[in-house]
Amino acid sequence: MAVTGDETESAATGDIPAYQLRSPNSSLAQSIVLAESPSNMQSPSSQHAEEITRKREVRLMKNREAARECRRKKKEYVKCLENRVAVLENQNKTLIEELKSLKDIYCHKAE
Partner DNA sequence: AAAACTATCCGTCACAGTTA
Partner DNA sequence: TAACTGTGACGGATAGTTTT
Residues that bind DNA (CB under 7 A): 1-7, 10, 15-17, 20, 22, 26, 28, 59-64, 66-71, 73-74
For the bound state, the minimum distance from the C-beta of residue 48 to DNA, rounded and expressed in Å, comes to 14
Tell which residue, 76, 78, 72, 36, has the closest CA to residue 53: 36
Alpha helices in the chain (DSSP H): 7-13, 28-36, 44-110
Report DSSP state, residue 27: -
Cβ closest to DNA, residue 7 vs residue 98: 7
Cβ closest to DNA, residue 77 vs residue 92: 77
For the bound state, the minimum distance from the C-beta of residue 75 to DNA, rounded and expressed in Å, comes to 7
By CB neighbour count within 10 A (0-12 exposed, 13-18 middle, 19+ buried), where does 43 fall?
exposed
Tell me the chain's radius of gyration from C-alpha atoms.
30
Residue 6 backbone phi and psi in degrees, to 5: -75, 110
Cβ closest to DNA, residue 32 vs residue 99: 32
Cβ closest to DNA, residue 27 vs residue 101: 27
For the bound state, the minimum distance from the C-beta of residue 13 to DNA, rounded and expressed in Å, comes to 11
For the bound state, the minimum distance from the C-beta of residue 22 to DNA, rounded and expressed in Å, comes to 5
